[in-house]
Amino acid sequence: MMKILFIQSTPLSAYPRLRGKRPDRTHLIKKRRLYFVGLAPAILAALVPDVEFEVCLETIEDVNFETDADLIAISAMGHAVIRSIDLAKEFRKRGKTVVMGGYMVSLMPEEAKKYCDSVIIGDGEKSFVRMVEDYKQGNLQPFYDIPLDELTYPLPKYELLTEKKIGDFLPVQAGRGCPNSCSFCSVYCLYKNTYLKREISEVVRDIKRIKALGYKKFLLLDDNILSDRAYMIALCAEIKKLGMQWMSQCSINIADDEEMLRIAYDSGCRTLSFGIESISQESLNSMQKAWAKVEDYSRQIRKISEAGIDVSTEMVVGADGDTLLSIERTADFITENKIVVPRFYILTPIPGTVFHRQMMEQGRIVNDQMYQYDGAEAIFQPKHMTPEQLTEAYWKLYRKVFSFPSILKRTIVRKDFWSSPLKYLFYLYVNFYYRGQIRKRITPNII
Ligand code: B12
Ligand code: SF4
């Protein structure tokens, strides 16, 4: 029987553990537990049931270079691609056939192909099956890019994930893509404005399986579950029957749709993450995100919280409207709005995105070593500061948001603490965990 080893590589930390040393990017980020796991290996394994499929999540497991697998399949997210390339080189040195896929290599297939035998561009559902067939026939092609006209796949092999040290929830996906066009976004870059959604019965099948495996929660991995309102309403109606809790991400405009908020909560939605990006409207406008309104943020966050759904946020610093002062004030915004799990990145022009093209055209890229683009260091010339000032302002912001006073105000010193003490104590734990990451200058998003 043919055997595939699938590896989800881990990123390299930009900074060594000891403070004060120069960044060296040789330190693999390792964790005892990976709370959020991706769905790609479970789907790919299900697509080729006649193949033995082994999964290595490198953040929590070591790669077995002595494997007897015939084919090494490596996935790459963002800057972890540099580790994927190192792995590809090492396996090829050992005489293995290596294929790569995932978001990052889909944005830079020609570059990725230099290091492996074959690259899958975009969705893998059709391409991967063809690739495995071709491999068996000794006819592997350099690139596979078979677009999907509908999104459908067999029941993911969740057992490949449940045996690992992961969180108390499993991933499900209802759709891919997003109708918005934010200039920095890899999702927009791959899917443009399309939204591929699965049959609701198929999504429900997966959730039922998760429930049967003993889980009470799931993570809906969609980029924006609000992409199709009617679909979301119909999906929530089915999810509600299953009595599970779930979390996901969507655009903050859900706050202005009371009916949708109620339906989501009733179906078990308890946490939503929002890419609110910036407290500068000028910055939002510069990112093709003018539909988001800073003046509405506080009210919207309150509305969502009042509906019983916890708010987590993702923000970027360094866009054209940002100043050193606005970045500093972002910390106050987070504390005042009691965001329980805030995350930040330095705005980064990922090759392939509209923002990258803009920065190239304007001659503002100051570091063209794309493998260093980890969202924790400025690599372009911001409008109102130097790149070095931006990097420093970013870490200062993180330190302030994860200072003891801010952590306490956002988690346990709040009026609604006694409504759900265990939940807020859990958030307190997550905040302390993040604080530890920040002290090592690791962007705290890999848990
Ligand atoms: C879950 C998730 C995580 C988890 C899990 C990571 C893990 N180690 O398993 C956490 C939260 C830890 C995480 C961390 C990071 N993530 Co992440 N993550 C996701 C998320 C939300 C879902 C991934 C998923 O399962 N999707 C569903 C599956 C089915 O889709 P898929 O992964 O694209 O896989 C399909 C195809 O791409 C293809 N495929 C994928 N891999 C491979 C490999 C081979 C060999 C083949 C043949 C095919 C193939 O087949 C699949 C079926 O079609 C995506 C957003 C998204 N919607 O996908 C972001 C996303 C992939 N992450 C992203 C980033 C940037 C990161 C970080 C680098 C963030 C950071 N700055 O630190 C880190 C890197 C961590 C790492 N180990 O590499 C970006 C990637 C952008 C880019 N240009 O690459 C995304 C797209 C988010 C975004 N909107 O920007 N992430
Ligand atoms: S709303 Fe989110 S997923 Fe959609 S294009 Fe903007 S950043 Fe990307």
Half-sphere exposure of 57 (CA within 13 A, CB side): 24
Mean pLDDT of the chain: 94
Pocket (CB within 6 angstroms of ligand 2): 178, 180-182, 185, 187-188, 223-224, 251, 275
The tens digit of pLDDT for each residue in 339-353 reads 999 999 999 999 989
Q: Which ligand ends up closest to the CA of 72?
A: 1
Residues 195, 227 contacting (CB under 8 angstroms): yes
pTM, whole model, 2 decimals?
0.95
What would you report as the CA-atom Rg of the chain, rounded to the nearest whole angstrom? 22
Q: Give me the pLDDT at residue 15, please.
A: 55
Handedness of CA 353, 357, 358, 363 (dihedral sign): positive
Tokens for 229? Answer: 């309102």
For residue 419, how far is the Cα from the chain centroid? 30
Ligand 2: which of 103, 224, 274, 348 to mutate, most ligand atoms within 8 Å of CB? 224
Sign of the torsion formed by the C-alpha atoms of 109, 191, 247 and 168: negative
Could you tell me the CA-to-CA distances from 137 to 113, 131, 140, 141, 420 in Å, in that order? 20, 10, 8, 11, 58
- DSSP letter for 353, please: S
To test ligand 2's pocket by mutation, which of 181, 182, 184, 190 has the most ligand atoms within 8 angstroms of CB?
182
Residue with CA nearest ligand 2 atom 6: 182
Average pLDDT over residues 436-443: 83
Residue tagged 């919280």 (tokens): 305
Query: What tens digit of pLDDT does each residue of 169-179 get?
Result: 999 999 999 99
Mean of pLDDT values over 72-91: 95
Question: Residue 86 pLDDT > 70, yes or no?
Answer: yes
Q: What are the tens digits of pLDDT across the range 284-306? A: 999 999 999 999 999 999 999 99
Domains and CATH numbers, the chain: 3-144 (3.40.50.280), 168-439 (3.20.20.70)
Q: Is the pLDDT of residue 318 over 80?
A: yes
Q: In the predicted model, what is the mean pLDDT of residues 30-44?
A: 94
Other beta carbons within 10 Å of 383: 14
pLDDT at 356 over 50: yes
Rounded Cα distance between 78 and 373, Å, is 8
Do 284 and 315 form a contact (C-beta atoms < 8 A)?
A: no
pLDDT in tens, 114-160: 999 999 999 999 999 999 999 999 999 999 999 999 999 999 999 99
Task: Identify which of 103, 176, 180 to mutate to test ligand 2's pocket (most ligand atoms within 8 A of the CB).
Answer: 180
pLDDT for the residue numbered 447: 55
27: number of Cβ within 10 Å: 16
| Sequence-separated contacts (24+) of 162-168 with Cβ below 8 Å | 162/213, 164/34, 164/37, 164/55, 164/57, 164/60, 164/61, 165/32, 165/33, 165/34, 165/60, 166/33, 166/34, 166/35, 166/37, 167/33, 167/34, 167/35, 167/36, 167/37, 168/215, 168/216, 168/217
- Say if residue 364's pLDDT is above 60: yes
pLDDT of residue 24: 55
Distance from the alpha carbon of residue 422 to the mean position of ligand 1, in angstroms: 30
